[in-house]
Amino acid sequence: MDSTFDVVVLGAGSGGYACALRAAELGLTVALVERAKVGGTCLHLGCIPTKALLHAAEVADTVRDAGEFGVGASLAGIDMAGVHRYKDAVVAKLFKGLTGLVASRGITLVEGEGRLFAPDTVAVGDRLLTGRHVVLASGSYAKTLPGITIDGQYVLTSEHALGLDRVPTSALVLGGGVIGCEFASVWRSFGAEVTIIEALPHLVPNEDQAISLALERSFRRRRIGFRVAARVEQVTVIDGGVRVSISGGDTLEAEVLLVAVGRGPCTDGLGYAEQGVTLEHGFVVTDERLATGLTTASGGHVYAVGDIVPGLQLAHRGFQQGIFVAEEIAGLDPNPIDEAGIPRITYCDPEIASVGLTETTARDRLGKIETLTYDLGGNGKSQILKTQGFVKLVRQSEGPVVGIHIIGARAGELIGEAQLIYGWEAFPDDIASLVHAHPTQNEALGEAFLALAGKPLHIHA
């Protein structure tokens, strides 16, 4: 077996497989090492299966509310075995397609636990894979907090929650970020009583504060409880459930506790530090071109992509980083990735989508700014969908738009245009002149920019 390649990629998640596919497309020989399944966390334990659950939850809500649309229907219950069949079929189909694609590009897939044996070598068992370049893409794991033991029955990570064979009667969710809010939304739609515990002052604390407040209002309407600025002091497994003591002396009980406090980098025990890779809190330190500073014996470089690189832990960020590194290796001199220009989506109900700077960050960095909020109450398609929310624009004073923030049903489907607007450093007049189809939610962006350009139609000037 050939063990010498142009590129050896350690990890076949979104960043790793994207790098391998693009490198092979550019004519490079590639080895792709994966200890589990190609596709990594995103395909098997993250993005895809969780969004399948969220769609099932949306269907349940639609049936429950069918009478509002003049449709006679009733929700008999949630068949979790059926939900899992649907979810698993989606994952299986995508996995089959991805493995076929890897094979068709002539990529050597090596299954097993890999570790960095030398700057230019990855060891997988007794096999040594040598690369002119090496790309570290080992992904992340679900974190917990000191004093909290994950047992997989009452105290869960998102991976356990994905495979839960029942709808819990009640659930506590530790962490009000993306993962916590998504599972809280699913379980509430499935009929569970849910309370979120968040240490910071608001849910989805990385979003614009207006978005956080709107989500909190919506969750109150949905009877999703939440306790913000609250810290867990003790977790105790009791008969048939779990008891959580939080700051302030309060005690909460539920059937399960989901620990959703973020993800840590999978770098420990993989030989990174031993070979000279600089780590900070377990994350791999890189320059803006994702190089670690290590060079290989043949004059190549060691790169890192995905969740092990400090920043947003998003599949599409890792995917784009993988493409970037492949093109960097091939000598195409790609533009560095603008971290603020990476779209962010929380797929709860209502959805949240954003790109660029929040109002607070923009004010801190740029000084004088302008903001405009367009309520979806003025958007015809949003009224048809019976959703509430808004589009918020953040603009450098007399300059381009630097942030776009959306909350409402299907907000994630609008973020593509918003990303282009941000990436092109567009001025309000540039977008106000574009034609947005009617009736669509996409019109909300057009209406917001008309207003920001001084041409308000469906909102007051």
Question: Which segments within 263-377 are labelled E, that is strand?
Answer: 263-265, 279-280, 283-284, 291-295, 301-304, 344-346, 352-356, 369-375
- Tell me the sheet residues that pair with 140: 265
Look up residue 332 and give its amino acid: L
- Side-chain-facing half-sphere of 3: CA atoms under 13 Å: 11
DSSP label of 252? E
Length in residues, the chain: 461
Burial pattern 50-72, b for ≥16 Cβ within 10 A else e, equals: bbbbbbbbbebbeeeeeeeeeee
- Side-chain-facing half-sphere of 324: CA atoms under 13 Å: 21
- Which residues have a Cβ under 8 Å from the Cβ of 60 and sit 6 or more positions away? 75, 78, 189, 190
Residue whose pair of structure tokens reads 């960020």 in the numeric block: 317
CB count, 10 Å around CB of 420? Answer: 13
Q: Is-contact 158 173, C-beta < 8 A?
A: no
d(CA 357, CA 359): 6
Q: How far out from the chain centre does Cα 200 lie? A: 19
Query: Looking at 133, 316, 405, 438, which residue is catalytic?
Result: 438
Candidates 201, 221, 218; CA nearest to 389 is 218
DSSP label of 387? -
Residue spans of alpha helices (H) in 315-366 = 315-329, 359-366
d(CA 301, CA 299): 7
H or E element that contains 185:
helix 178-189
Q: Is-contact 95 45, C-beta < 8 A?
A: no
Candidates 320, 342, 344; CA nearest to 422 is 342
Could you give the angle at the alpha carbon of 93 between the alpha carbons of 87 and 98, nearest 5°?
A: 125
Active site residue 44: no
The pair phi, psi for residue 110, each rounded to 5°, is -115, 115
- Which residues have a Cβ under 8 Å from the Cβ of 457 and sit 6 or more positions away? 447, 450, 451
Tokens of 109: 């897939």
Catalytic residues: 438
